[in-house]
């Protein structure tokens, strides 16, 4: 475990941490990160997690062949806020992301993430395939860490109008049965707004958490 006094990055960042097998959650992550980047004084740091395998000997390369690089504990330790993204798997988050969260007990024991804002996003193949249950269960470990959960408020008009993804618990995307349906206008608007909101909250709450980063 690295030293909790490791210096924080010069510019605060929102850690946009996702797992994606077919690219749908990754597309949402990139849209949300673009929203973060529209807010002055904070940036997005996009990271992913390796797949997990029931075969213990299986290992992933240190640098993924494509997409974001793998997250480290320090990425989480020093973030000003967190946006966590997962495909829906039987109404819950995917195992690779849960596997990473299960390695963060050192941060939990030291209360490192207490008072930092967090949000979540997901992608499903079907419209009623468990987006809300995935988002609600994703927030549970974040609450254990003492993070302050922020969803998407109904002041975002797209939340009312959407005929696809978008929930008050966090942004969602309906990728369709074959996973090829692109992120649509409402989903994009909501993901961007969610990125902007978590960025603003991260800046606002960083005054409370500075000494612990």
Ligand X SMILES: Cc1cc2nc3c(=O)[nH]c(=O)nc-3n(C[C@H](O)[C@H](O)[C@H](O)COP(=O)(O)O)c2cc1C
Q: Which residues bind ligand X (CB under 6 A)?
A: 20-26, 87-91, 123-126, 129-130, 175, 179
Least distance in angstroms from the C-beta of 36 to ligand X:
19
Dist CA 191 CA 35 (whole Å)? 7
- As measured in angstroms, the least distance from the Cβ of 25 to ligand X is 3
Among candidate residues 208, 201, 212, 209, the one with its CA nearest the CA of residue 41: 201
Which of 119/202 has CB closer to ligand X? 119
The CB-of-130 to ligand X minimum distance in angstroms stands at 4
- Tell me the closest approach of the beta carbon of residue 184 to ligand X, in angstroms: 13
Q: How far apart are CA 49 and CA 87, in angstroms?
A: 13
Pick 175 or 213: Cβ nearer ligand X = 175
In this chain, which residue has its C-beta nearest to ligand X? 129
Name which of 5 and 128 has its Cβ closer to ligand X. 128
SS3 content of the chain, % helix, strand, coil (to 5): 35, 20, 45
Q: What φ, ψ does residue 194 adopt, rounded to 5°?
A: -65, -40
């Amino acid at each position: 475990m690295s030293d909790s006094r490791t210096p924080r990055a010069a510019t605060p960042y929102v850690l946009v941490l996702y797992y994606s097998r077919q690219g749908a959650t990754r597309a949402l992550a990139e849209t949300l990160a673009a929203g973060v980047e529209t807010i002055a004084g904070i940036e997005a740091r996009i990271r992913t997690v390796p797949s997990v395998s029931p075969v213990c000997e299986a290992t992933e390369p240190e640098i993924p062949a494509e997409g974001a690089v793998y997250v480290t504990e320090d990425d989480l330790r020093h973030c000003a806020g967190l946006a966590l993204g997962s495909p829906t798997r039987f109404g819950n988050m995917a195992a690779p992301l849960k596997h990473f969260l299960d390695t963060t007990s050192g941060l939990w024991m030291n209360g490192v993430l207490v008072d930092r804002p967090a949000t979540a996003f997901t992608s499903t193949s079907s419209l009623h395939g468990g987006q809300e249950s995935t988002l609600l269960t994703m927030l549970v470990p974040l609450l254990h860490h003492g993070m302050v959960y922020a969803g998407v408020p109904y002041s975002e008009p797209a939340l009312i109008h959407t005929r696809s993804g978008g929930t008050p618990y966090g942004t969602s995307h309906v990728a369709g049965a074959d996973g090829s349906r692109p992120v649509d206008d409402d989903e994009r608007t909501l993901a961007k707004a969610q990125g902007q909101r978590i960025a603003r909250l991260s800046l606002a709450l960083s005054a409370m958490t500075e000494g612990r980063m």
